Amino acid sequence: MKTRKILSALLAAAMTCAMCLSAGAADVSPCIYDLEKESTHKTVSAGSYSYDCYTTLYYGNASKGCLWAVEKNKKDAQAALKTYLYENDNLVEEAGWSTSSSYIHLLDTKKRAVSGDIRVEGDYRFYHDNGDYTSGSAPVVRYSTSRSAAERMAVTSYPTNAKGETYGSYLDRNTVGQAPDLIAAMGENGVEGYIRLNDIAPELFTLEEIRQYQAQVDANPVIPLYDLNGKVIGSFVRGTTQDHSNPDPVVVQKLDEMTGGKSADFLPSAQPIPVKHDYPTTANGETYGSYGDRDKYGYPPQLIAVIGDNDRSGYVRLSDFRAANRPANVVWDVYDLKGNVIDTFSH
């Protein structure tokens, strides 16, 4: 009889949990996640707008992170967000750039089984009415599954590999002052290695550039995972535009609490905003053309037309052209439209 009662109780609990997983926004049970932890809040001024910016970790058998940015005066404005989930300093999930124009902006990562030292953070771009923007990183929220875990020491410089490339965690870009060339990441099948900065976080400025980049990621999300010697040891899947037609109940519940039950008006669109096609594109979806057309179209092409050192016509990459830490007298590769190196371009 006692065993039967225990089995009955377990069955009832299982049914309750199953019901809460399929319930709507009005009936969200805490059994979905074991823990919900929020970061400190950061006020960000952007032109005539003021944002409350923070991150949330939802921890359980499958965990995820979410970046929130709420305009304090409920004024609609343009913003772009990107969210990251880390395990022991390794980037394990990123939610690709998402743009929106309401007063509540949010972006959550996909769910992932993680353990050890877990962190969530994100990047934001808040656009002013004149087209300028304020950018930065959202506060980090941390949770450790180990009681003996020590606080992480601040990093102020990166080590370098034999090629002179810096490597380390993307978490340290703010304390160091820039991101490393090689970012510590966990790729598919749990393989640990490094992804290249230009593959995961190229310099982008306008909303249109962000949309162009994200469209390219959606078409080709997989990038190489390297060891420190530059050998390909696996692959990493970048964050694609998410389908929010079936949103996470915990996100819906929070939005309903913030908006008086109007969460549907603030969830990110299931479809990306169409990108402009002022420039022609390659087979890989990269735009190409003259850098001089950036004012006419509002954004530059990803491949910039140049004449190489040996008078070959080709293209240099925008990410190389804009690199903030490029050395003096740098020499860039010149590519054809198929991605083959055909010349060099001395700066």
H/E/C letters for each residue in 72-115? CCCCCCCEEEEEEEEECCEEEEEEEEEEECCCEEEEECCCECCC
Please report the pLDDT score of residue 136 as a whole number.
96
What are the distances in angstroms from CA 76 to CA 99, 103, 161, 281, 282? 13, 4, 46, 33, 35
Confidence band, pLDDT 50/70/90 cuts, at residue 151: confident
Please report the pLDDT score of residue 294 as a whole number.
76
- The answer to whether residue 189 scores a pLDDT higher than 60 is yes
Q: How many CB atoms lie within 10 A of CB 303?
A: 25
- The answer to whether residue 5 scores a pLDDT higher than 60 is no
Please report the pLDDT score of residue 328 as a whole number.
64
Q: What is the share, in percent, of the chain residues with pLDDT greater than 90?
A: 57
Q: Would you state the structure tokens that stand for residue 165, as one six-digit string?
A: 């490339």
Domain boundaries, the chain: 1-30, 33-154+195-223+237-265, 288-346
Confidence band, pLDDT 50/70/90 cuts, at residue 76: very high
Please report the pLDDT score of residue 6 as a whole number.
30
Confidence band, pLDDT 50/70/90 cuts, at residue 29: very low
Q: How many CB atoms lie within 10 A of CB 268?
A: 22
Please report the pLDDT score of residue 39 as a whole number.
98
Residue range 269-291, pLDDT digits in tens: 655 555 666 788 888 778 899 88
Residue range 45-57, pLDDT digits in tens: 999 999 999 999 9
- The answer to whether residue 127 scores a pLDDT higher than 80 is yes
